[in-house]
Structure 1
Amino acid sequence: MSNPHIGVLALQGDVREHLAALDGAGATARPVRRAEELAAVHGLVIPGGESTTMYKLAHVFGLLEPLRERVREGLPAYGSCAGMIMLADKILDPRSGQETIGGIDMIVRRNAFGRQNESFEAALDVTGVAGGPVQGVFIRAPWVESTGADVETLARIDGHPVAVRQGNLLATSFHPELTGDHRVHGLFTAMVRAAH
């Protein structure tokens, strides 16, 4: 599959930036807002934004269960920042009633790196991404508190995993879509091709 169709969950967050990054990585990118659009893609990006709002909107749009089902069936998915929280099996500090899609055997801590005014950038060596460090943009970012045995840590800051992979699922604490560097999206596009 040379040109996979990859959706970006378009309920809230950095949708346009992810669509552009996926196009730059050689995928055909499209927004996903409904279950029938989800059924038509080979992979899915869950963008940064606000994880509580994203969960509520997914529920309102009737997407939460279809998302869980497709991930259980093996749909490749990549979550950045809030998307990482959405792909976690557990949240250490959830808002009242907050749920996730799940799929990655990890526990995440929301806003672990601090508030908006504590945002920062860092150069990261990311396993599976060639060509030198990736510039990570961290905005109210989570980190991974712990992982199960099947989760591979791809990058760390101060000992905390900030990029992980489990099977067809990829998650980063940071926002590669904001840098103009499409290599993380390239890694995910390659994962989608390999799964089909």
Structure 2
Amino acid sequence: MTSPVVGVLALQGDVHEHSQALAACGAQVVLVRRPADLASVDGLVLPGGESTTMDKLLRRYQLLGPLRAQVAHGLPVYGSCAGMILLADRIECGVQGQQTIGGLDVTVQRNAFGRQVDSFEERLDAPALGAGPEEPELRAVFIRAPWVSECGPAVQVLATVSTGPAAGRIVAVRQGALMATAFHPEISGDLRIHRAFLATVSRGWAAQK
């Protein structure tokens, strides 16, 4: 096998778009719909979608427990938008009984940027992702997006909003093998987020060979 296998959680959300982006970066992509599918992956993407629906489907298909165990054992996971909410240890403005996979020592505010009609595109400050004064700007698509309102000491902030009323809000983070963004790089066509995640996956994959 010449490249790592990256799963995309295929219960709801931007499954096809993430699959295309990962393939464009050279990954082998598989769809994850049941616990047995996790055995073949070196990393996993939790796509954007609707976080409460995804939580219910994870429990219905008995994936929530296995995913928590895989995260605890160091599986690299990247979550975009709803995926960020699923990886957060704490949620603000969640619905009653909403659960997460957890692993990221962050508090995430659900729908922090507003409703679907408030979707927008914004430039980010993201030097850790190759978007600084000398590199092309990183423009991010936000759709009913969360933001990170609190980070634990082990969490690295990767990107913040650079302008407007939300300037300074944290919208991308990393902690160990976990990575999350409030925005949708699978829609924008900018592959820097997927490449950064695949670099983490590849390091773990190579160490096991």
Q: Name the counterpart of 2:97.
A: 97
Say yes or no: does 1:191 pair with 2:195: no
The equivalent position to 1:181 in structure 2, one of 173, 184, 190, is: 190
Q: Is there any run of 5+ residues in structure 1 with no aligned partner, and where?
A: none
Q: Secondary structure at the match of 2:97?
A: coil
Aligned ranges for residues 42-57 of structure 1 at < 5 Å? 42-57=42-57
Whole-angstrom distance in 1 between the partners of 2:199 and 2:2:
9
Asked if 1 retains the 8 angstrom alpha-carbon contact of 2:114 and 2:145, the reply is yes
The amino acid across from 2:194 in the alignment is H
Q: Which amino acid aligns with 2:107?
A: I
Distance 1:133 1:168 in 2: 25
1:151 to 128, 135, 155: 155
**Paired amino acid for 1:33:** R
Which amino acid in 1 is paired with 2:200? M
Q: Any residues of structure 2 matched to 1:9-20 within 5 Å, and which?
A: 9-20=9-20
Alignment match, 2:164: none
Alignment partners' CA distance in 2, 1:20 and 1:175: 13
What TM-score do you get using the length of structure 2 for normalisation?
Answer: 0.91
SS across alignment from 1:144? strand
Distance 2:192 2:149 in 1: 25
1:128 is displaced (CA, Å) by 3.2
Point out the structure with max Rg over C-alpha: 2
TM-score, with length taken from structure 1: 0.97
Q: CA RMSD in A?
A: 1.1
Q: Secondary structure at the match of 1:112?
A: coil
Cα separation, 2, equivalents of 1:125 and 1:108: 19
Give 1:114-153 correspondences, 5 Å limit. Answer: 114-130=114-130, 131-153=135-157
Following the alignment from structure 2 to structure 1, what is the Cα–Cα distance between the partners of residues 126 and 177? 17
* SS class of match (2:40): coil
Structure 2 distance, partners of 1:192, 1:78, is: 10
Deviation (angstroms), 1:180: 1.6
Q: How far 1:2 sits from its partner (Å)?
A: 5.0
Q: Deviations over 1:74-111 (max 9, x none)?
A: 00000000000000000012201100000000000000
- Match of 1:49, SS state, is coil
Write out per-residue CA displacement over residues 16-59 of structure 1, whole angstroms, 9 at most, x where no aligned residue.
00000000111111110011111210000000000000000000
Matched-pair identity in %: 56
Is 1:172 equivalent to 2:176 in the alignment?
Answer: no
**How far 1:175 sits from its partner (Å)?**
0.0
